[in-house]
Amino acid sequence: MRFLSKILYVVGLVLFLAACSSPSPLQTSTGDEGGSADSASTSTSVGEATSTTVVQPETTDVSPETSTTTTERAVSATTTTETQVETATTEAPATTSSTTEAPEESTTTTTEPPTTPTTNPPAPDFAFEAGLTMSGRWTAVSLTVDGEPIELVDPTPGINVAGRSLNGTDGCNSFGNGSVVWDDDGALTVDRSNADSTLVGCTGQVAAVEQAFSRALSNANAWGLTSSGNLVLAGLTTRVDFELAGEAAPLDGAEIGPIGDTTLQLIRETEQFAALPSDAELPLLIVSGQGTTATLSSTECEVAYSVNLPANAGEGAIAFGGAAASECPAGSTSRTVAEVLQTVDYVLTLNVGEASLMQLWAGSESVALFATEGAGFDG
């Protein structure tokens, strides 16, 4: 009985081993030598069964259900992981509670200077017009410097204007040999750079008036007459008003006025002709055509000019045109006189009894003086 049991045991063991060594119908053959070697290493003969240690290979559950479930779990895990990654990637960053505030606007406070109401300066109460003359003896009636009135005291300042000649008194000293020149718009220049003056020293208010009056004359750049006939000499910060005291008197007994057609002779009065030789022939100036023509005549030459002497007044603008000084011999007295006449721009004519005088200016300078021939004015 025991023998039979052993035989059955051996037979069962052999069958078991045989079954283990045969390839499983579910196992996939690799078809390479390595696979055969593995199979050989696990196979053993029946006779050697008692001495061989059988190592059972690990089995893999490859049943369809297990395989499907495992795959679905892997896919599910992968899908879950990818979803988490995608969610982590696409999820908007968490907002923070802190808010970035816009920088405060800087406010610059500009302090505007107080505005002073602008007012137009008052219109002048004096007027200038073309042809207006300043000639006359004028006494100051008011004086203003830098907006401040200056109190006038005796002796009162005044001026004497004849044509463009100026002389007068500042209340302390007398002066002469000045000039006044203006253009067609009334722009005025008072020139006392070559004026002669007395040198009396004054004090008190007389000295104050002297200084203020001198400044007002020097600064005057415009002039005109008021509606009452007063003369105004005005500067930027100065003004002096004059009242007419009488006609200009450049010579005793002389009156400013037209002279008509007449013959005049040059007088050696001005600087230009003071140095002429005593025996030099002094040319004549023959005025004709109601003051429209003047002919410079001498034994050396004759030069005819077209002129326009003021018809109803004794002074005004004038020009000697239409002739050339070259018509007279070079170096002759007549040539010198002719050249001076070409510079003249202002004339003053005077009547002294039966005689007549003509004073000519070029700018502020008196350049020539003619008087009735034989009237005794030649000096």
* 225-246 pLDDT, tens digit each: 999 999 999 999 999 999 999 9
Confidence at residue 158, expressed as pLDDT on a 0 to 100 scale? 97
Kindly report the CATH class assigned to 255-372. Answer: mainly beta
- What's the rounded Cα separation, in Å, for the pair 224 and 186? 7
pLDDT tens digits along 105-146: 555 555 666 655 555 556 788 999 988 999 999 999 999 999
Of 263, 295, 268, nearest to 279 by C-alpha is: 268
Assessment of whether the complete model's pTM goes beyond 0.85? no
Encoded amino acid at 284, one letter: L
Question: Taking all residues of the chain, what is their mean pLDDT, rounded to a whole number?
Answer: 78
pLDDT tens digits along 316-347: 999 999 888 888 999 999 999 999 999 999 99
Confidence at residue 325, expressed as pLDDT on a 0 to 100 scale? 87
Encoded amino acid at 131, one letter: G
Between 2.60.120.260, 1.10.3210.10, 2.40.128.270, 3.40.50.1100, what CATH number should domain 126-246 receive? 2.40.128.270
- Going from N- to C-terminal start, the domains of the chain cover 126-246, 255-372
Dihedral through CA 305, CA 314, CA 138, CA 211, nearest 10?
10
* φ/ψ (deg, to 5) at 67: -60, -45
Q: Show the tokens assigned to 136.
A: 């006359």
Of 9, 20, 1, nearest to 50 by C-alpha is: 9
192-209 b/e (C-beta count within 10 Å ≥ 16 → b):
beeeebeeeebeeebebb
pLDDT at 5 over 80: no
Does this chain's domain 126-246 share its CATH topology with 255-372? yes
CB 274 within 8 A of CB 172: no
